[in-house]
Amino acid sequence: MKKHHVVNALAALLIAAAPAMCAPANLYAQAVADYNAGKYGQAATEFETIKAQYPNNALTHYYLALCRQALGHFDKARQEYEWVSQYGDASLKGLAAQGMSRMSGVK
């Protein structure tokens, strides 16, 4: 009987936690959709939320750089591109370098 109660308790906990575990993935999908729709301010806010939860996610930093660049916040975009250049994988480092070069000469 006790084993049955433990299994039920674990199942209830997983069911209760499932929306919270899916929230970051849902927020990430929404942030990408907002970026693709040209809603750069909204996407930046969403990516900032994700970055606060997952500060080492290079793709989040990259998208945040794209958003900042599109909004004309070049200093913040450079900071994010530099982070990606330092900590991202090889493909993201290349994309960050391209982003930085597009901003060369922009203050």
pLDDT in tens, 21-69: 444 679 999 999 999 999 999 999 999 999 999 999 999 999 999 999 9
- In whole angstroms, how far apart are CA 42 and each of 32, 66, 68? 10, 13, 11
- pTM equals 0.77
